[in-house]
Structure 1
Amino acid sequence: MNEPSFIQVVLMGLITVFVVLICLIVIIKIMGAIMTKVTGKSAPQAVPVPPAAPVPAVQPNKQLLVAAIAAAVAEDMGTDVNHIRIHAIRKL
C-alpha cells in the first residue's frame, strides 16, 4: 500500500484542527444562546477602570531611598552600611 505523502499528512492535520475549532466555536455560541434564554441575563458588561494616579517625578523622602540603596549595596558587597559612601544617585 502507498503511504501518504508529507503534504497530505500536513494538510489533513491542518484541516482537522480548523474544522474542530470551528465546531467548538459553534457549540460555544449555541450554549451561550441557550444559557441567555434560560437565565434571562445577557453577557456581563465591562466595568470601566478609573485612571491611575500620576506618579510623582520627585521622591518625597530621599533619605529613605538613599538608605534602601545603601543597604542593598552593602548587602551585595558583603560589608556594613557604615563602610560605604554614596556620593550621588542618578536616575537611569
Structure 2
Amino acid sequence: MKKNIVVFGIIVFFYCSWVQAQEIKLHFPYFSGQQYDWKIFQGEKEVTIKSGEIFKGGQVILAMPNRYQNYRGMTRWLLKKAVVWI
C-alpha cells in the first residue's frame, strides 16, 4: 500500500512538471503607455505573436495564442521604442 502511494506521487509529480504556463503577467509601471512586441523563434525566423500597449498602471498580460499552444522554445518580449534614462 505504501509503495502504491509513492508510485502515485511520482507519477503526479512528473505529470505536473510537464504542465506549462500559458499566461504571463508582467508589471512595469514606469513603461505604461509604451508599445511592445512579443516574439517567438522558429528556426532562424522571428514571429511576432502579439503587439500591444502596456496598460495604465503598468500591467501586461501575455497569453499564448491557441495557434502556438504547443510551442516549445524561447520567446522575447521587447519595447518598440527605447526609453532614455536621465
Shorter-chain TM-score above 0.5: no
The structure whose residues are more often strand, as a share, is: 2
The structure whose residues are more often helix, as a share, is: 1
Q: With structure 1 as the length reference, what TM-score do the two structures score? A: 0.28
Q: Which has the higher contact order (CA 8 A, sep 6+)?
A: 2
Which structure has the larger Rg?
1
Q: With structure 2 as the length reference, what TM-score do the two structures score? A: 0.29
